[in-house]
Copies of this chain bind each other. A is one copy, B any other.
């Protein structure tokens, strides 16, 4: 009878009907989500300082949830805490960026391999749509937007793989690289390599050829990484 506490007696039918109450996210969660979005969208430039107090003032919450959200991002490596204990967005150097890409290259091919048989036709259409949007953004020189769409494309594939842990790891990788990526977008310009590679990925998924899809993802990532690393290397030589 003790176990009854964990599974209170409820008529299965009504339980199904009611479903679980959707507890509203805590303030910490909301602040965290805002920070996340901001980081991905390039609201802060890499290396920019953040303070818990300003954040709490800006968002109209107390210090606690603001601070908790920041700490959470710090823990994920999306924010740095300097030796003086101030918070700033990360600015990846070439080596650090390479490591992010090395890990993505290890994980995302597996994700697409698992995802390939699970994709529904309409989801594939969505991939095509996203890729065309990306092309459009690039042609309009809206590079930050194109990066945004690129991330959506890759994350949609990861979602389909139904590997929640892997997905969360890849999420934090994007978050970590976000500001640096955004800084680069103007140097990165006008490259349609991503577009062509994405087309290859889509084609492989349509043929339900998991191995080919994995190879295409790997190629997309390594070519993309090569460009960014080149830009970063140049940057580091410059200053």
Question: Residues on A close to B: CB < 8 A?
Answer: 6, 20-21, 23, 28, 47, 68, 71-72, 75-77, 83, 85, 96, 99-100, 102-103, 106-107, 110, 163-166, 168-169, 176
Contact = CB atoms under 8 A, between A and B. Distances in A.
B21 A96 contact: no
A213 to B, nearest CB: 16
Contact of A77 (B68, B103, B163, B165): B165
Nearest to A106: B106
Most buried by B among A21, A71, A100: A71
Contact of A68 (B23, B68, B85): B68
A65 to B, nearest CB: 11
Contact of A163 (B20, B68, B72, B102): B102
13 contacts: A6-B47, A20-B83, A21-B83, A28-B71, A71-B71, A75-B75, A99-B166, A100-B165, A103-B165, A103-B166, A103-B169, A106-B106, A165-B176
- What number of copies of this chain does the assembly contain? 2
Contact of A166 (B6, B71, B102): B102
Contacts of A110: 102, 106
A176 B169 CA distance: 13
Contacts of A107: 103, 106-107
Nearest to A5: B49
Of all A-B residue pairs in the complex, the 9 with the closest CB atoms, nearest first, are A106-B106, A99-B165, A72-B75, A20-B83, A75-B75, A99-B163, A106-B107, A106-B110, A103-B166
A99 B166 CA distance: 8
Contacts of A165: 77, 96, 99-100, 103, 176
A71 B27 CA distance: 14
A100 B77 CA distance: 20
Nearest to A32: B75
Contacts of A68: 68, 71
A123 to B, nearest CB: 21
Given A99-B163, A99-B164, 5 more contacts: A72-B72, A75-B75, A102-B110, A103-B166, A165-B176
